[in-house]
Structure 1
Amino acid sequence: MPTSRPDRKQVLLRLDPAVHDALARWAADELRSTNAQLEFLLRRALADAGRLPDGVGRIRKAGRPPKER
């Protein structure tokens, strides 16, 4: 099913397996995918550093999306 989301950049990221496992557990605890958790953390770090660009869309809330009627 196509979505109306804008194109997304893809990035190859190499992580220590222990870091990946910890990230995956954290993501599961917050009902996010590992990818969504990484984006959440990167956005938060950019915002904390005052480097989040203007006009960046909001990230959707954690958890299952609401059922469509």
Structure 2
Amino acid sequence: MTLPDIHTWWPKLSIEAKHAIREHPDATLSSEVQREIARVTGHEVSDADRLSQQDIDFIATQQEPVD
């Protein structure tokens, strides 16, 4: 399954969620990250939802400090 457009939720994630995604972009999103994305987008997120390669590429370009 696919996630909502990353541009709508990435900027609004917590620092902890961003770190979790950056550390393991190919992994299943943690339940906390799933909840954050759902809260921001109104889209239910499940273990089946994965980052696309385009999402991973976008995250790589986001080098703002997250600490």
Instruction: Give your verdict on TM over 0.5.
Output: no
> Larger helix proportion, structure 1 or 2?
2
TM-score of the two chains, using structure 1 as the length reference:
0.23
Of structures 1 and 2, the larger Rg is shown by 1
> Greater relative contact order (Cα 8 A, min sep 6): structure 1 or 2?
2
